[in-house]
Amino acid sequence: MRSSSCRAIVVALVLGIVGCRDVTPASEDIGGSSESSGGGSGAGTEPDVVDGDSTGEPTEPDACEDACIDLGSEDGIAGCHACRCKIAFDDWLPSVDELQCQNAEAIVTHHAVLSETGYTLEPAPPGATDCANPSFLTGSCQQGSKLGQLTHGDVSVYWICRDPYLDLDGSVLFEDMAVIGHNARTGATCFWDDINDQVHEDDAPPLDLSEATEDERARSVEVFKYNDGSSCVTCHDHDPFIYTPHLQSTGWASIAANKRPYHLVDLRGEPRPTGVMHLVSPQADACTSCHRLGSRNTCSSFAPDSMGSHKLHPYEDEVHAAAEPGSPYWELAYWMPTASVELADFDAWEAAFGEARDHVLECCAAPGVDAGDCRWEAVPSE
């Protein structure tokens, strides 16, 4: 909610940034296939169309036809998904060497130290169970999680490695690793999420299976079970990349202000809408001029949290107290807009965003429903 420089309101549950565990239940909708038949031959009928569509134009060859020939096995589905995502990402996926936790940036969790003149943030101590910026997905304040970001033309790939601990051999093992890829030009988006407790600093499996060895492919299929993204958009509802204070120590790069198309990559190679609505009524412009506001967990959790209206997560007491009226430490509880927008005091925040906050909270009581002044539209898929 800050001006043009603001980051996306979060979604997230991860928060970090990626992760498809639901905060609220969501159904899994695996993309299937549909068949149609038509045409025929005989007097008075048009001839069948061969190698073309109904207009007579030739159809494009399916670059993933061979990769998607077997959708009856996990290996076949994984190969098809990898091919569809690579094509959607302008024939690019990060290499296995690039996409490793050891190449990602540390996420630092903080403890707020209050003083008469304000507050400072210092790293949370080992074993902290609450902090100023916990993970929205896991509720963890543990140090050592990491966020990676890669950009290739219009395509961005972000990955998060969460909650490390020592494996039996003394190496670092992450409880969870998740990946999001997005083509900002077309809106094409793919999600990968591991089955937990599988990935170390340097052994994440490849996303690109077109040239993977047999062992690499087997590990990828084992670690990254096929994820069509249906549950992920519960949190990543208005934008594929979502921000929360958990990521404040990182060089987070947001594309949310672009508000470009956003769709899921289907196994059939067709864009699949997220099914999410976003708030478009002008009363919310102070927030939505920077980013969309989605009708799912952005409405139910992230927007209220960001505006100090309802702190749901394992924040330390200092943050909960900062949300109380008149607190001089209000910025601890109000993280939208981000610190990149300077505000003199809470009165300045209230003047700039108070009416928009009230409208957002009113509309989010019935997300996606046009009622009163609330107006919603489907998140554009193309």
- What's the whole-number mean pLDDT along residues 335-341? 84
The pLDDT value recorded for residue 3 is: 38
| 3 is a domain residue | no
DSSP codes of every residue in 100-156: -GGGSEEPPPEEEEEETTEEEEEEPPTT-S-BSS--TTT----S--EEEEEEETTEE
Structure confidence by residue, pLDDT tens digits, 350-380: 999 999 999 999 999 999 999 999 999 999 9
Full residue range of the structural domain in which residue 275 is found: 74-378
Task: Reply yes or no on whether the pLDDT at 165 is more than 80.
Answer: yes
Indicate the SS3 state at residue 152: strand
Q: Average pLDDT of 87-92?
A: 98
pLDDT digits 0-9 by tens, 144-161: 999 999 999 999 999 999
Number of CB atoms found within 10 A of residue 126's CB: 8
- Do the domain assignments include residue 302? yes
pLDDT digits (tens, 9 = 90+) for 55-84: 566 678 899 999 999 999 999 999 999 999
In a domain, 21, yes or no: no
CB 316 within 8 A of CB 109: no
- Give yes or no for residue 48 having a pLDDT over 50: no
Q: Considering the domain boundaries, does residue 63 fall inside one?
A: no
Would 150 be classed as within a structural domain? yes
Does 56 or 90 have the greater pLDDT score?
90
Q: Is the pLDDT of residue 53 over 60?
A: no
Residue 13 lies in a domain: no
CA angle (119, 120, 121) in 5-degree steps: 130
Q: Residue 254: what pLDDT? A: 86
Cβ-based neighbour number of residue 311 at 10 Å: 15
Closest CA to 108 of 246, 15, 311, 263: 246
Number of structural domains, the chain? 1
Q: Domain for residue 45, yes or no?
A: no
pLDDT at 54: 55
In this prediction, residue 56 carries a pLDDT of: 60
Which helix (H) or strand (E) is 264 found in, with range?
A: strand 263-265
94: cis peptide before it, omega within 30°?
A: no
Task: Let me know if residue 158 belongs to a domain.
Answer: yes
Read off the tokens for 315.
């924040």
- Mean pLDDT for the chain overall: 87
Other Cβ atoms closer than 10 A to 141: 24
CA 135, CA 10: separation in Å to the nearest integer?
12
- Has residue 44 got a pLDDT over 70? no
Residue 110 — very low, low, confident or very high, per pLDDT cuts 50/70/90? very high
- The whole-number pLDDT of residue 55 equals 57
